[in-house]
Homo-oligomer: A and B are copies of this chain.
């Protein structure tokens, strides 16, 4: 497993986890997969990472069992990427990072959220005060309805356009 190489076999689970997911590219890849962005070019457009970096990260995540590839075109050979169970288990961390970012990295008070999250079962708005209900563990982002705000949609559309150029 990947964490053994990087963490020098520590017994600390925080250090082991970070050896697998402890760089921003990795969790941004997981963010894209959670938004159903699954193809290499589409992920690359949103992350602005080099092909080499993205390909290295994807291979590493596959080796670590966090994501899996599924063939969607045989000629040319093309894959889509999906979170595994182990990968989906990172969803609470993505949600917590969202809350932390909303509370502590906001441009200004009362800024419009990048995405609107709604708890599908009750329709509740999922803001930084929302708590994952006990009945929803293991938590997965699929229990939430995601609607991109116009600002975030515009940012993403711009990245797609610039990438195609």
A63 within 8 A of B: no
| Contact-size category for A | 35 or more
A151 within 8 A of B: yes
Assess the B151–A14 pair: CB atoms within 8 A: no
A58 within 8 A of B: no
Pick the residue among B12, B17, B23 that contacts A100 (CB under 8 A): B17
A126 within 8 A of B: no
Residues of B within 8 A of A103 (CB): 89
Smallest Cβ distance from A100 to chain B, in angstroms? Answer: 5
Assess the A104–B92 pair: CB atoms within 8 A: no
**Digit string of A96-107 for contact with B (CB within 8 Å is 1, else 0)?**
111111111110
